[in-house]
Amino acid sequence: MACGKDDSVLPDRPAETLLALAAPGEAAELLAAVIHSRQTVLPKRLGEPAPDAMQLQMILGSAAAAPDHGQLTPWRFVIVPEIARSRLADAFAAALIERDAQATTEQAEQAREKAYRAPLLMLAVGQLEGGDPEVDASERLISAGCAIQNILLTAHAMGFGAALTSGKALKSPALRTLFGLEPGEQALCFVNIGTPHKKKPARARPGVDSYVSTLAGG
* Amino acid present at 32: A
Quick count: other Cβ atoms within 10 Å of Cβ 130? 14
Reported confidence tier of residue 172, pLDDT bands at 50, 70, 90: very high
pLDDT range class, residue 27, cuts 50, 70, 90: confident
Tell me phi and psi for residue 38, to 5 degrees: -70, 140
The percentage of residues in the chain with a pLDDT greater than 70, rounded to a whole number, is: 91
Dump pLDDT digits (tens) for 179-211. 999 999 999 999 999 999 987 788 889 999 999
Report the C-alpha gap between 144 and 216 in whole angstroms: 32
Average pLDDT on 1-7 reads 47
Sequence-distant (6+) residues with CB within 8 A of 56 are 50, 120
CA distances from 50 to 42, 85, 162 (A): 15, 15, 11
pLDDT of residue 2: 55
H or E element that contains 71? none
Are 55 and 158 in contact by the 8 Å Cβ rule? The answer is: yes
Distance CA 144, CA 179 (A): 18
For residue 26, give every residue at least 6 positions away whose Cβ sits within 8 Å of its Cβ, in sequence order, or none.
none
Query: Which fold, 41-80+118-197?
Result: NADH Oxidase (3.40.109)
Residue 89 is which amino acid? A
Q: What is the pTM of this model?
A: 0.89
pLDDT at 23 over 90: no
- Look at residue 14 in the predicted model and tell me its pLDDT: 62
Which residues fall within 8 angstroms of residue 42, CB to CB, at 6 or more apart? 163
Share of the chain above pLDDT 90, in %: 78
Give pLDDT tens digits for 44-81: 999 999 999 999 999 999 999 999 999 899 999 999 99
Instruction: Tell me the per-residue pLDDT of 107-145, one tens digit each, with 9 for 90 and over.
Output: 999 999 999 999 999 999 999 998 888 999 999 999 999
